[in-house]
Amino acid sequence: MDKNNLYRMIPKMDILLELPEIKTLIEHYGRDLTVETLQEEVQALRREIQEKEEFDMEESLETLPERVEHRLNSLLKPNFQKVINATGTVLHTNLGRAPLSPKHLEHIALIASGYSNLEYELKEGRRGQRYSHIESLLCHLTGAEAAMAVNNNAAAVMLILNTLTQGKEVIVSRGELVEIGGKFRVPDVMKASGAKLIEVGTTNKTHEEDYRDVINEETGAILKVHTSNFEMIGFTESVELDELSKLAKGYDLPLIQDIGSGVLVDLSKYGLKYEPTVQESIRAGVDIVCFSGDKLLGGPQAGMIVGKRKYIEQIKRNQLTRALRIDKFTAAALEVILKEYLSEETAMRNIPVLHMIIQKKEELKDKAERLRSFLETLHLDAEIEVEECLSQVGGGSLPGERLDSYAVSLKPGRISTAKLEEEMRKLSVPIIVRTTNDKVMIDVRTVSEKEFFYFEQLKDIEDF
């Protein structure tokens, strides 16, 4: 058929806009957006006519409104969406780190959907501080004199150094000049903050004298960085916090510690490797400790700063603090999460990250068995087994620590493992998995029972 004829068969815009289906779309999505989308769809139609040998014009015109609606829907659907984390990595930075529980979200939603006393003293009826909701809690939990929170831990480090050590020298051990994920490099952050880095010691050993030897009138602070995401073993030595604290005090310098993951509970009680707690640092005499809100603390993205009042007050007055401050969602989430820590049992039960980390092997096995039973009802083309596996904490916490876990493994029949992994990623609620050899592994540590029904989507994968 003559293509020009086909082009001519496409109705004019004003005619299309009179179609009842299009009118409904206009009512629903608004006129401008619908018209724009309709124009795009007509363009797509013209391209198709141009490219194809055979073209069913009648059918194309009939389904035009449907395609416009589809286009509108996918345009309006958020690209930032829920996924199922079946990797077993609890603090998966790419998948959003710490999830919150519905109970916490209820409170956050309440705060976010209306007005609140974010910076308002209800008793006195005057302006208040946004930190007031968390400050005394943080002090109570960590033993610090004062506390505040900013956007994230990277911001916290930057702000602390900028406030207390701008233009001055900051001493750091060479063994602690780390790079954390997302390009957080201690030397670069220091440079950006305006402090001058003075490296001491060697990669594997740093002694007290190494610090002492470089202290002079230009020194602004001693910084200790928790080497969160790697572990040094063998011939190593670093200076204990209390020893460093004594040294810093002797010269009237602040001792600052970036502890990375903010652990408030001694995890070794639960069979995990010991990760230094914030309380311990404060007790050892560290003047300022900072840590993340969404790593082992299990809360929202935030950078907590706790320590001596005189330093915290200075930091609060820094103009940068205004730029790095937490928003009301974060303030609301932090308060409810920190309140869980008032009782350790409650924290371990109600904070999803902690709950996932301390799940017992038998519980995980039972969970995996239940998921297997469910998957078996779907009649998938795969061998389905429950297997032991190892999950990790992630987020640069507890490096090297592998947690015993269970996975449901899927060995697909017709399609390849790589194809299955890809198809699972493309589901409308994507399921993110690890693969080993010839199997897809669904580590149930990070999958809640309530999420099992999402696996019904596996039925929609072609040839599976």
Kindly list the residues in this chain that would bind ligand PLP in the complex (CB under 6 A): 152-154, 180, 184, 225-226, 228, 258, 260-261, 292, 303, 396
Whole-number minimum distance, CB 272 to ligand PLP, in Å?
17
Cα–Cα distances in angstroms (integers) from residue 189 to residues 88, 160, 186, 360, 430, in the given order: 31, 11, 5, 39, 35
Q: How near is the Cβ of 325 to ligand PLP at its closest, in Å? A: 15
Core vs surface per residue 195-205: b (16+ CB within 10 A) or e: bbbbbbbeeeb
Whichever of 258 and 340 has its CB closer to ligand PLP, that residue is 258
- The smaller minimum CB distance to ligand PLP, of residues 247 and 289, is found at 289
Nearer to ligand PLP, 305 or 408 (CB): 305
Q: How far is the CB of 281 from ligand PLP (least distance, A)?
A: 13
Q: Quick one: which of 263, 227, 323 has its CA closest to 98?
A: 263
CA distance linking residue 138 with residue 371, whole number of Å: 39
Query: Which of 25, 154 has the CB closer to ligand PLP?
Result: 154
Nearer Cβ to ligand PLP (276/352): 276
**Least Å from the CB of residue 61 to ligand PLP:** 53
The torsion of the CA quartet 220, 226, 229, 233, rounded to 10 degrees, works out to: 120
The per-residue DSSP string of 38-64 comes to HHHHHHHHHHHHHH-SS--HHHHHHTH
Task: Please identify, using beta-carbon distances, which residue of 259 and 403 lies nearer to ligand PLP.
Answer: 259
Euclidean distance between CA atoms 246 and 253, whole angstroms: 10
What are the DSSP E strand ranges found in 208-248?
219-225
Q: What is the DSSP letter of 403?
A: E
- Find out whether 46 and 10 touch, Cβ atoms under 8 Å: yes
Q: How far is the CB of 212 from ligand PLP (least distance, A)?
A: 24
Spatial CA neighbour of 68 closest among 127, 108, 19, 112 = 19
CA dist 5 → 46, 55, 56, 63 (Å): 12, 12, 13, 19
At its nearest, how many Å lie between ligand PLP and the CB of residue 192? 13
Q: How far is the CB of 68 from ligand PLP (least distance, A)?
A: 42
Give the N- to C-terminal CA distance of the chain in Å, as an integer. Answer: 40
The residue number whose beta carbon is nearest to ligand PLP equals 260
Sheet strands (E) in 210-366: 219-225, 255-261, 288-292, 303-307
Task: State which residue, 185 or 310, has the beta carbon closest to ligand PLP.
Answer: 185
DSSP letters spanning 326-360: --HHHHHHHHHHHHHTTSHHHHHHHSHHHHHHT--
3-state secondary structure of 453: helix
Structure-token pair, residue 224: 């200790």
Minimum CB separation from ligand PLP for residue 153, in Å? Answer: 3
Q: Which is nearer to ligand PLP, 292 or 405 (CB)?
A: 292
DSSP 103: H
Q: Which is nearer to ligand PLP, 184 or 455 (CB)?
A: 184
Report the nearest approach of ligand PLP to the CB of residue 378 (Å). Answer: 38
Tokens (6 digits) for 181? 């994920």
Length of the chain: 464
Distance CA 294, CA 104 (A): 14
Cβ nearer to ligand PLP, comparing 88 with 303: 303
User: Least Å distance between CB 208 and ligand PLP?
Assistant: 22
345: amino acid identity, one letter: E
Shortest spacing between CB 244 and ligand PLP, in angstroms: 16
Residues 61, 212: Cα–Cα separation, whole Å = 81
Whichever of 295 and 439 has its CB closer to ligand PLP, that residue is: 295
